[in-house]
Amino acid sequence: MFELDSRLHNDTFFVCDLTLCRVLLMNDSQFPWLILVPRKNDIAEIIDLTEHEQILLLQESATVSKVLQAVFTPFKLNIAALGNVVRQLHVHHVARFEGDVAWPKPVWGNQAAVPYKEESAKLLIAQIKQHLERENAK
C-alpha cells in the first residue's frame, strides 16, 4: 500500500489521484504550488521509475502545468524534483510571478510558509480539481 511521507502529508492538502501520481496542494498561500507524488513506495529518483511510469509522470506533470497556467496565468512555472529533505520522489510545480515574495529566487528554504485559511483552501482545491478533470478530458 502506498505510504505518503509524513512531512509531505503535514505540509499539504490532498487534491486527487491521477493514474500514477497523487496531486497535493502545498499549504502555502504565497505561491500556487502543486506537488505530484508517484504512488509507489521506495522511489527517490525519477530514473527509479520504469520507462512507462516516467512517461506517465511527464504527462501528469504537463497536465498540472496546464492547470496552473489556466487558473493563475503565472509569469513562469518552476518544476523541480529535489528531495534533499524529503527523500520520497515528489515533483514540485510552482506558479511564479515577478514580485512574489521569493522572486527571482527559488521558493525553497527562503521564507516561512503562510498557511491558507480553511475556506480558501477548499475553494482552491475545488477549482483545481475541476480544471484537472477538464484537462484530462481533452
Interface residues toward a copy of itself, by CB under 8 A: 44-47, 54-55, 58, 61-62, 65-66, 69, 76-85, 87, 96, 103-106, 108-109
Residues ≥6 apart with Cβ < 8 Å to 94: 31, 32, 33, 77, 78, 79, 80, 107
Q: Which is nearer to a copy of itself, 116 or 132 (CB)?
A: 132
CB of 100 to a copy of itself, least distance (A): 10
- Partners of 38 in the beta sheet? 21
Output phi, psi for 127, to 5 deg.
-65, -45
Q: Report, in Å, the least distance between residue 121 CB and a copy of itself.
A: 26
Q: Which is nearer to a copy of itself, 82 or 126 (CB)?
A: 82
Q: Find the shortest distance in angstroms from Cβ 62 to a copy of itself.
A: 5
Region of 104 on the Ramachandran plot (φ > 0 left; ψ -120 to 50 alpha; else beta): alpha
Name which of 46 and 121 has its Cβ closer to a copy of itself.
Answer: 46
**Side-chain-side CA neighbours of residue 6 (13 Å):** 0
Min separation Cβ 10 and a copy of itself, Å: 18
